[in-house]
Amino acid sequence: MPLALFMGRDFRLGFNGKGCCMSVDTATVARIASLARIKVSEGELEAMVPELNGILNWVEQLGEVNVEGVEPMTAVIPNTLRLRADVVNADPLTGGGIRDAVLANAPAAEHGFFGVPKVIE
């Protein structure tokens, strides 16, 4: 498939388990999912391992680029970081005193607060 070759590598290698480099196993995917706070079932985990390995093996091609002396991109269009005026409620849209608007979409707002399950045993 020419388009795949254009990417610098036949990405299908990843699915054959012949990828060259690091690959993730079920335990690693379970750990990533836990870090990302996404619950996954055993079945989902099994399906995700080859999928993620396919993608990861494909992006490994970046390792072959010579980046000696190259700075990582921080701002794609040069811009200066501004400070806003140190004024309370300078912009009412993003200012304070709008508790009810802030809580309006909360799934469990109680007594003017966000409600969450008990966190202290």
Which residues sit at the interface with other proteins, rule CB under 8 A? 1-8, 11, 22, 24, 28-29, 32-40, 48, 51-52, 54-56, 58-59, 61-63, 65, 67, 70-77, 79, 81-82, 84, 91, 93-94, 98, 101-102, 104-108, 114, 116-119
3-state secondary structure of 117: coil
Query: Taking the CA atoms of the chain, what radius of gyration do you get in angstroms?
Result: 24
| 42 sits in which H/E element | helix 42-59
**Residue 97: CB minimum distance to other proteins, A:** 13
